[in-house]
Structure 1
Amino acid sequence: MPDFFPRGTDIPSQSPLFWVSQKDRYLRQLLIRDIEAITGRRLLVYFTDCAAVAQIDGFDCKYITELLGSEGLPFDLLLETNGGQTDATENLVSILSKGSTSFRVIVPARAKSNGTLIALASDEILMGNPSELGPVDPNLVMGNQMIPCSFIISAANAGQPVDPIMLQFALAAINQTMKLAETVLAQRMLKGTAPDRIKTIVNDLATRQKYYSHGSVIDSGEAASLGLKVQYLRPNDDLWQKIWLLRCMYEFDARMLGVAKMYESVNLSHSIKIAPPVL
């Protein structure tokens, strides 16, 4: 009979009670090791439960820094997030870019909004059938609503009354996003590409001229048609099947444990619990 995952007959070196309490992590890390054996690259994981209120924020940087270490070896980042703060994303992108001369992003399911910006900073994006990126157009909170910055700017350009402070916030937010996207694409994925071509791609992603919703789905084919470097993994691809299994493990384990974020590598693991509701 084939020796399916997980395999082996040796008793763990940890004490039984400790091993049982950590068994889900050990199984995930075993699969991380299997994926690394296929790719020949380190695999880091930044997973957020997209059903929870968990965003990219300034606290992520220390955990990603620890995962990267100081080896400087080529690595892949398995990424799942709905997005988050642009300032924190800018810092994460800087940390990841300095971590190695070769850096890919794997998107099993969702890397939306500023998650897409992180993907743009890589050399290549690995995607399968359920994988989706999204527009990176920033929003501003106005009352209980999230208003696209491009809507505020368009209203002002059309002569409609707009609060001048909100207009400045909107202009600054969209300029920050577009500058970051153009910079990271020119440094890695689209290095050597004409600046005007990069500006066109970023304009498509950062305004509502091409994608009319912040939640619009950009699948592997759409991402490639934009001009991004995408490697499509078929459903029967052995690497894809292991990636999808690992991603399913993170989603299940996060919800069972009440965890909002998980940062993991073959030998390191951190998690952030979902914050209790404020009464």
Structure 2
Amino acid sequence: MAIKAKEPPVLFNETQALIRDIESHINRKLICYWTSHRGAICDNDVIAMYEILKNLGRQERVGLFIKSDGGDVEAALRVVNLLREYNDNVVAYIPLESASAATMIALGADELRMGPLAHLTAIDSSLRHDMSPVDPTDNRKVKVSQDELARLVALWNKSSREHHDNPYTDIFKYIHPLVIGALDRSSSLSIKICKEILSYHISDESECERISSHLNSLYPSHSYPITLKEAKSLGLKVSRLDAGINSKLLMINQYYSEMAQKALTDFDEYNYHDNEILNILESDGLQVFYKNDKDWNYIKDERRWQSLNDNSGWRKVMLDSKNKIFSSMLHIR
């Protein structure tokens, strides 16, 4: 008997009800931008965000619920540009983590509202490259941080009396040279992009430079949590998120987390299917998400995994003319 692949739930009705409820309290349309811990902000999210904004139409005021561990900083700039093209005033609602590239997107808002569990992070470079090392425990490429790499080299140099080799001779055994090159390039890029994002609502160029440089280089780690108090001291326009709105946003997060559960189906010890949802964007009347849909096979002789039958892609969920849930593919290449 064939094993049926697990399918994650699509909780469209539940999240739509909460979105409409929140909108009635904040007196503006709400956009949700959520990624799982295995997802990330990426270029394709820009097209997905365009679908959301096109569905809403131009708004004088909009709210953005963002929850993400980060991703591509150039994609973050494009997302902010879209938000500012379609909306005159943007308020970011942050109940949980809004890290790295997600911090940049939040900085594109005129105001930030942060809950007790919320935090931003530093924006120094951290990326998951095509040539990044692979974590053997879950077959996923790992992020490499510019800060971690710099500290590794510093430690090497500090103990250089014990050896005379170039530190990169050993580092290249674990981190591909192209990854290190990409990190070096993206470090200066992070500051430039952050300055440009802040300039959408801060006219003082020196202030944009100060905030960007602070976020890029003055924290001890890439994941250092910048809470409400620290965000205020940094000079950001931020206030405490209303407790009721915070609770409702956390409920949306619970629904999204349920949708993004690990939908993995084991066929045997060398083969499994992945149906996991990674990124979700939503507004009133439309939900867009990216879902893995592929097989994985372990090649014993080569001690590595390969993907097969990859039908992963973006899905759109909305109500049809009869008020029934209708799902379709959103083709992005």
Whether the 8 Å CA contact 1:106–1:125 is kept in 2: the answer is yes
Cα distance change, pair 171–146 in 1 and its aligned pair in 2 (3 A): closer
Q: Structure 1 or 2: larger strand share?
A: 2
Moved more, 67-76 or 247-256: 247-256
> Shift of the alpha carbon at 1:139?
3.2
- Give the AA of the match of 1:267: G
Residue 241 in structure 1 maps to residue 227 in structure 2: no
Structure with bigger gyration radius: 2
| One-letter amino acid of the counterpart of residue 187, structure 2 | I
> What is the CA–CA distance in structure 1 between the aligned matches of 2:289 and 2:182, rounded to whole Å?
33
Higher helix share: 1
Map 1:38-53 to 2 at 5 A. Answer: 38-50=25-37, 52=38
Give me the whole-angstrom Cα distance separating, in 1, the residues matched to 2:259 and 2:189: 35
Q: Once structures 1 and 2 are overlaid, which stretch shifts more, 137-146 or 73-82? A: 137-146
| Residue 174 (str. 1) matches residue 192 (str. 2) | no
The worse-fitting range, judged by mean Cα deviation, of 256-265 and 89-98 is 256-265
State the 1:57 CA deviation: 1.0
Measured in 2, the distance between the counterparts of 1:169 and 1:143 equals: 11
Unaligned runs of 5+ in 2: 1-7, 134-142, 161-165, 169-176, 264-275, 297-304, 307-333
Is the contact between residue 145 and residue 183 of structure 2 (CA under 8 Å) also seen in structure 1?
Answer: no
1:120 to 107, 127, 150: 107
After TM superposition, give the deviation of residue 165 of structure 1 in Å: 8.4
The 2-side partners of 1:169 and 1:205 are apart by 20
Matched, 1:268 2:281: no
Give the whole-Å Cα distance in 1 for the aligned partners of 2:180 and 2:283. Answer: 42
Indicate whether 1:192 and 2:200 are aligned.
Answer: no
Equivalent residue number for residue 7 of structure 1 = none
| Cross-structure match for 1:68 | 53
TM-score, length-scaled by structure 2: 0.66
| Contact 2:33/2:66 (8 A) holds in 1 | yes
Q: Distance in 2 between matches of 1:239 and 1:143?
A: 39
Paired AA for residue 87 in structure 1: E
Query: Contact (CA 8 Å) 1:152, 1:162: kept in 2 or not?
Result: no
Q: Separation in 1 of the partners of 2:108 and 2:25? A: 23
The residue aligned with 2:238 is 230
Question: Which residue of the other structure, out of 249, 252, 255, is the alignment partner of 2:261?
Answer: 255
Structure 1 CA distance for aligned equivalents of residues 239 and 184 of structure 2: 34
Q: What secondary structure sits across from 1:62 in the alignment?
A: helix
Q: 1:149 to 1:173 in 2, by over 3 A?
A: farther
CA distance in 1, matches of 2:238, 2:97: 15
SS in 2 for 1:111: coil
Over the matched positions of the two proteins, sequence identity in percent amounts to 25
Letter in 1 for 2:50: T
Contact 1:149 1:170 in 2 (8 A): no
Which has the larger displacement, 249-258 or 60-69?
A: 249-258
Which residue is equivalent to 2:144?
146
- The whole-number CA distance in structure 1 between the counterparts of 2:178 and 2:248 is 49
**Which letter maps to 2:193?**
L
1:105 Cα deviation from its structure 2 partner: 1.6
Kept in 1: contact 2:30–2:283 (CA 8 A) = yes
- Matched-pair contact (CA < 8 Å) for 2:73–2:193: no
- Paired residue secondary structure (1:264): strand
Contact 1:260 1:273 in 2 (8 A): yes
1:263, 1:137 → 2: CA distance?
25
Counterpart for residue 98 of structure 1: 85
TM-score by length of structure 1 reads 0.78
Asked whether the 8 Å contact 2:132–2:179 carries over to 1, the reply is: no
Which secondary structure state, in structure 2, belongs to the residue aligned with residue 187 of structure 1?
coil
Unaligned runs of 5+ in 1: 1-20
